[in-house]
Each structure stands twice: as structure tokens, then as C-alpha cells.
Amino acid sequence: MKKLLSFLMVLVVIGVLAACGSESEGEGSGSDSGGDEDTYTIGISLPSATHGWMGALIDNAETKAQEIQENQNVEYVMTNAEDPNQQANDVDDLISQDVDAIVMLPIESAALSPVGQKVKDEGIPLVIVDRELENDAADVVVKGDNEGIGENAGEYFTNQLDEGSKVVEITGPPSSVTEQRGAGFDEAMQAADGIEVVASQSGEFSTETSLSVMQNILQSEEQIDAVFTQDDGMALGVVQAIKEAERDDIQFVTGAGGAKEVFESIQDGGLISATFLYSPTMVEDGVEIASQLAQGEEPEEDTVIKEATEITEENVDEFYDPDSKF
């Protein structure tokens, strides 16, 4: 009888252990379907929405991240910073949360390069969008053709202006974007016969700042034939300053980005006559690539460049979307 009771107790223990093992296997860490797939997390560090392009980029990033979260075992944490110090702290927090990959759009290239290196040193895959770092910390860079924007704008100015023309350049804040767009434009201007850049100042990628900067330039420069701005939002500020000053010597203004309001100016024959595409949807590629890297996949390429298509009255209708948030 004792042997029979011992045997029965052994069977009960085995049954309990088997049931526990089965229950444990059904509680996968990242699968709603009860599988055993892992859950991965990507961190997304972006500037705050200080202008329309950035606001649209933030929306695109979150929409893409939500889409991935719904269809894959990839969650996300998004932060938005007002200044480089805050963004560096945001990235430190993402590192401490042990995320599996990070997407970052640096507010300033030089200021965020050290924290980018820290991400690399921690062995976390890093995807940089738009503004590049000053080191090789990024696994993948997703950007528009910034130098192409400057070159295409310079070619447009050369074709539209006569010898003796004077132009103004409104640049962005210190970053790879500003440097590359400026370099492409400056090279074209130096090659042009008789076209002089009489002023070049930063509008900080801000409509309000560009308005103020252009007001000062209009007071100091008696002749201005055209204005190259490195951003559509800045172009709108420049146009407002020109209209308020009632200057009729300025033939045209160009932007960069592809904002709906700028497209409408081009359609209506307004002062903004051209822009060059730099779509905020580029961040969607960055988020998608980060989700792949988080899951251990190797990147197909280390640089993704979006074309800087010239938009004028001849092709604006092809790109205009009346429902666009940007």
C-alpha cells in the first residue's frame, strides 16, 4: 500500500510540473497570440515641433511607430526636446531603459555627436534622420539630398537672374543640413557670372526669426533681386517681411521642404516661385529601419537619400495635397 501511495504521489507531482511548464510556455513576453516571441523596443528622440516641417515629421514618426507596434512585436518610446542638452538627456534615458534601437534627429549636429557615440559604445543600433552627426556613430543615416537642394536652387537662380543681380541667403541653425544646403548654393553662386550674395544670415528654421532677420536685411540692402531660404517656413517669414516693407524690387523667393502653403504660393503665382522637396515622411524610413535593427536584422544600406526634386508652377499640381498637414 505504501508503495502504491508513493507511486501515485509521483504521478501527481509530474502532472503538476507538466501543467506549469505548459502554462509558462504559453506566456510569451511579446506576443498577444500566446507565442514565445520577444518584444523589442525602439527609442525615438526628436526635437519639439518648432515649425511645420518638424510637426509633420513628428506625426509621421508616431504614425509609423504605431503601425509597426500593431503588426510586430516592437514597442516604442518617443521624446521631444527643446534644446540639445535636453535631447542628450532624453537619449541617456533611452539608453538606461535598455531599448533595442534608437532613432534620433539631432537638434544640432556637433552638440549631439557625443551622445550618439555613447549609444554606439553601448552597442545599441542608431538611426540618424535628417541632420547628421559629426562622427560615425550612426549605423544608418536617412536624409534628403541637402547639397542637391543648394545646387538646384543655385541653378534656378542662375537661370532666372541677370548679371548684376544681388541675392540674400537665409540659412538654418548649426547642423549638417545647413552646411550642405549652403555649400551647394554657394558653389553655384560662385560659378555664376555677375550674381552677388549680399547677405547671409540664420533664420533658425523659424518663420518668426526669419521675418525679423529679413526686416533688418531689407533696411540695410537697397537692392535685392531674389532670396534663397533653406526652409519653406523661413520663406514664408521672408515673404511677410518683404510685403510689410512694400519692397517691389525682389523678383522671387525660394524655399525647401514642400509645405502646402508654399505649393499654394507657387500655384497662385506668388512671390515664392520654387521649392525643393525635403519630405518629413523620411522619418518613416528611419523608424522602419530601427525596428529591423532592433530585431537583429542587418541594414541593407548605411545611407538613404531622398531626391531634392525642384517644384515650380510647371509641376506643382503633381505634388500638391490639399489634405496635407504640412
Residue 12 lies in a domain: no
Q: Do 238 and 285 have their domain in common?
A: no
Q: Do 136 and 193 have their domain in common?
A: no
Average pLDDT estimate for 311-324: 89
Least confidently predicted of 9-18, 42-51, 185-194, 281-290? 9-18
Structural domain total, the chain: 2
- Amino acid making up residue 39: T
Residue 134 lies in a domain: yes
Residue 52 has pLDDT above 80, yes or no: no
Q: Do 188 and 284 have their domain in common?
A: no
Q: Do 99 and 197 have their domain in common?
A: no
CA atoms within 13 A on the CB side of 136: 1
290 band by pLDDT with thresholds 50, 70 and 90: very high
DSSP state of 259: -
Q: Do 83 and 182 have their domain in common?
A: no
> What's the pLDDT score for residue 2?
42
Q: Do 53 and 199 have their domain in common?
A: no
**Distance of alpha carbon 189 from its chain centroid, rounded?**
27
Contact yes or no for 270/44 (Cβ under 8 A): no
Copy the grid coordinates of residue 59: 506625426
Q: Do 252 and 158 have their domain in common?
A: yes
Q: Do 196 and 123 have their domain in common?
A: no
> What's the pLDDT score for residue 25?
36
Residue 176 lies in a domain: yes
Residue 19 has pLDDT above 50, yes or no: no
Residue 232 lies in a domain: yes
Q: Which domain holds residue 65?
A: 40-144+280-307
Q: Do 246 and 293 have their domain in common?
A: no
- Write the DSSP string, 117-150: HHHHHTT--EEEESSPPSSS--SEEEEE-HHHHH
Residue 194 has pLDDT above 80, yes or no: yes
Average pLDDT estimate for 186-212: 92
Query: Could you tell me the CATH number of the domain that includes residue 55?
Result: 3.40.50.2300
Residue 121 lies in a domain: yes
Contact yes or no for 150/184 (Cβ under 8 A): yes
Residue 253 has pLDDT above 70, yes or no: yes
Residue 260 has pLDDT above 80, yes or no: yes
Q: Do 105 and 71 have their domain in common?
A: yes
Q: Do 160 and 150 have their domain in common?
A: yes
Q: Which helix (H) or strand (E) holds 278?
A: none
Q: Do 113 and 178 have their domain in common?
A: no
> What's the pLDDT score for residue 174?
85
Residue 26 lies in a domain: no
Residue 273 lies in a domain: no
Average pLDDT estimate for 149-177: 92
> What's the pLDDT score for residue 37?
65
Q: What pTM does this model have?
A: 0.70
Residue 111 lies in a domain: yes
> What's the pLDDT score for residue 323?
77
Least confidently predicted of 3-17, 164-178, 196-210, 218-232? 3-17
The sheet with strand 101-104 has its strands ordered as: 74-81, 40-47, 101-104, 126-129, 140-144, 303-306
Residue 282 has pLDDT above 60, yes or no: yes
